[in-house]
C-alpha cells in the first residue's frame, strides 16, 4: 500500500469537555496518512486515479471547524470516516494534536492517533 501524507493541517475548533474550550475554541492540528494504490495514477499521470489531497484537506478542516465534540478521540474518528469516503483510500492514520489543552503542568502537545480501514 502506498501512502499520501498531509501534515500540519490547522483549524480552529470548539472541542473539549470544559466550557471555556467550547466558548473560546482553540487551534487543532491534524496529520493524515492515506493508504492507497497510486500505481494507476502514476502510470497515466492522472489525478482522477488517486486521491485529491487538496479536497481531503478542505474536508478535514471543515470537520475540525464543525460540530463540537468532547473528545479528540471522537474528532479523530470523524476525520477518519471523512477520509475513507474517498474512492481508493483503503486506510487512514489520523493524528489530532491539541497543543493548547487545558493541562496545569508544562507540556508540548497532546495527541490521539488512530488507524482505520475499509475492512
- Catalytic residue annotation: 98
Residue with cell 470516516: 81
**CA–CA distance, 29 with 24 (Å, rounded to integer):** 17
Contacts of 32 (CB under 8 A, 6+ apart): 5, 6, 7, 9, 56, 60, 79, 83, 92, 93, 94, 95
- Cell numbers at 102, concatenated: 487545558
Beta bridge partners of 4: 34
Backbone angles phi, psi at 115, to 5 degrees: -125, 130
Residue with cell 482522477: 48
Amino acid at each position: 500500500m502506498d501512502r499520501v501524507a498531509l501534515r500540519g493541517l490547522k483549524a480552529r475548533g470548539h472541542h473539549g469537555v470544559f466550557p471555556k474550550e467550547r466558548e473560546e475554541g482553540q487551534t487543532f492540528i491534524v496529520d493524515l496518512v492515506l493508504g492507497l494504490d497510486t500505481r494507476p495514477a502514476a502510470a497515466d499521470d492522472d489525478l482522477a486515479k488517486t486521491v485529491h489531497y487538496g479536497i481531503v484537506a478542505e474536508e478535514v478542516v471543515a470537520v475540525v471547524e464543525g460540530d463540537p465534540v468532547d473528545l479528540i478521540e471522537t474528532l479523530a474518528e470523524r476525520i477518519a470516516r471523512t477520509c475513507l469516503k474517498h474512492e481508493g483510500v483503503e486506510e487512514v492514520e489520523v493524528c489530532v494534536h491539541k497543543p493548547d489543552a487545558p493541562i496545569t503542568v508544562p507540556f508540548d502537545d497532546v495527541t490521539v492517533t488512530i488507524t482505520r480501514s475499509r475492512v
